[in-house]
Amino acid sequence: MADLAARVRDHFTRERWINIGLQIGALVLALVLTTVILVAAGAPPLSAYWQIIKGAVGSVTGFSNVLVAWVPLLLAASGVLVTFAAGLWNIGVEGQIVFGAVLTTWVMRLMQDTAMSPALVIIIALIAGMVGGALWAALAGVLKTFGGVNEIFGGLGLNYVAAALTLWLIFGPWKRPGIGSMSGTEPFPDKLALPTIAGLRLSPWSLGLGILAVIIVYILLERTYFGLKLKATGASNRAAFLLGVPTWQYGLVAFLACGALAGLAGAVQVTAVYHRLIPSISSGYGYLGLMIGMLIAYRAAWVAPIALFFAALNIGSIQLPIVLKLDSTLSGVLQGALVLFVVLVEGARQRYLRRAGLKPGGA
């Protein structure tokens, strides 16, 4: 018992309390900035925030939709952590989600009229999504490794290409009978959808996949030798190389893993949420995944709660245009301000420690 008390006491040292205080401080600063922006836009800040809270947790349907948005965020953010660990900026997550969705749709179109059992079709379609995301990530990875094209530009360019590819498919080869429309491709039959909880859009299967991904990535990064070597690569490419870690191969593997997780997010959006390919199938979840990665300073244990918070903001702000005539990008403004302040406050803390000579350097 005494041992446990000591451990709890060690866990909550003074420094730790200060850290928690600073994180809350960042949140307060983000809220202050967003409030100023709301006032500048002539909007009532309190009712805007109340709308977001009500939209996210005010009803069972609302909260189940938060969980629906949570799944792709979990997948994208945990994928991003793998590439971050290797010191890579996989801005291409967005395109990897999209291309995963494209391959999933393609496979389902091929197999929907065959005699295969629906369960098998769905499983193959999910795997196809992972393969698609991994392929799209491999493109950025190869461009980086062998072509010297920074992954930021390679990934970003491929995001736009993937978005255009989707539009072309929806209005071209895969258009609905008659005329193609922004509403997407012809919906798949109900039997090819991941089963949802009665009356809701939430599928326990996709929820399970999202949670599983977070757990696997956590174990991979924090509890395996592979994860340690990956992080060594990220911390110092040259040092890791001199210690015998095949660095560029590790970088490519990180890209593939992240792409597969992102592609799975795309596959989930097709099989469990939209049941077809739509123009904005990724909903910006890839970029949001990167933001989550930065916010949690790449600590895998925090993916789940922060992704849930971001999902709640997204879903909560959907009603803003209707109720308050405000653009729903307010959630993005709040998320951006939050990440910015967390990053800056952490910088200020380390600067203070450096100045006070309490800690040497730190990145």
Partner 1 sequence: MDGPTLLVGLAGVLATSAPIAVASIGESLAERSGVINLSVNGTILLSAMGSFAVAVTTGSLVLGFILGAIIGAVVALLVAFGSITLRRSQVAVGFVLTLFCRDLSYFLGNPFMGDKGPRLAEHGIPLLQRIPILGTLIFKHDVMTYFSFVLIIVAWWWVYRTRPGLTLRAIGERPEAAFARGARVNLLRYTYTVVGGALVGLAGPMYSLSVKAGWKGTISGLDGLGWIVLAIVIFGAWNPVRVAFGAYLFGLLQWLSVVLQPSLQGIPSQVLQVAPFPLMILTLLFVNVGNAEWVDRILASLPEASRKRVAKILRSLRVVQPRSLGVPFEPD
- Spell out the long-range contacts of 219-225 with Cβ–Cβ below 8 A and sequence spacing 24 or more: 220/82, 221/81, 221/82, 221/85, 221/300, 222/300, 222/301
Within 151-170, which residues bind partner 1 (CB under 8 A)? Answer: 152-154, 156-158, 160-161, 163-164, 167-168
Q: Does 171 bind partner 1 (CB under 8 A)?
A: yes
Task: Closer to partner 1 by CB, 6 or 39: give it.
Answer: 39
Which CB sits closer to partner 1, 158 or 303?
Answer: 158
CA atoms within 13 A on the CB side of 332: 10
Farthest-apart Cα atoms in the chain, separation: 74
Q: Which of 113, 172, 177, 356 contacts partner 1 by CB under 8 A?
A: 172
- With respect to partner 1, which residue has the nearer C-beta, 44 or 208? 44
Residue 147 contacts partner 1 per CB under 8 A: yes
Report, in Å, the least distance between residue 147 CB and partner 1.
5
Minimum CB separation of residue 39 from partner 1 in Å reads 12
Asked if residue 264 binds partner 1 (CB under 8 A), the reply is no
Does 22 help bind partner 1 (rule: CB under 8 A)? no
300 is a site residue for partner 1 (CB under 8 A): no
Could you identify the residue written with the tokens 């909560």?
A: 316
Q: Which two tokens stand for residue 75?
A: 């997948």
Q: Is 311 in the site for partner 1 (CB under 8 A)?
A: no
220 versus 295: smaller Cβ distance to partner 1:
295
Which residues touch 227 (CB under 8 Å, ≥6 apart)?
85, 220, 221
Cβ proximity to partner 1: between 37 and 57 the closer is 37
Are 211 and 304 within 8 A, CB to CB?
yes
Q: Work out which of 224, 351, 358, 359 binds partner 1, going by CB under 8 A.
A: 351
Nearest distance from residue 1's CB to partner 1, in Å? 43
Candidates 23, 35, 47, 150: give the one binding partner 1 (CB under 8 A). 150
**By CB under 8 A, residue 143 contacts partner 1:** yes
Least CB distance to partner 1 at residue 241 (A): 13
CA distances from 127 to 65, 252, 346 (A): 24, 19, 39
Ranges of beta strands (E only) in the chain are none
Q: Which two tokens stand for residue 86?
A: 């290797």
Distance from CA of residue 113 to its chain's centroid? Answer: 33
CA distance 96 to 283: 13
Three-state secondary structure call for residue 124: helix
Contact in structure between 59 and 200 (CB atoms under 8 Å): no
Tell me: does residue 149 bind partner 1 (CB under 8 A): yes
| 355-to-321, 343, 361 alpha-carbon distances in Å | 47, 18, 9
Total interface residues for partner 1 by CB under 8 A: 47
* Terminal Cα-to-Cα distance of the chain (whole angstroms): 37
Site string for partner 1, 70-89 (x = CB under 8 A): -------------------x
| Closest CB 42 distance from partner 1, rounded Å | 8
Residues that bind partner 1 (CB under 8 A): 37, 40-41, 89, 91, 143, 146-150, 152-154, 156-158, 160-161, 163-164, 167-168, 171-172, 287, 290-291, 294, 326-327, 329-330, 332-333, 336-337, 339-340, 343-344, 346-348, 350-351, 363
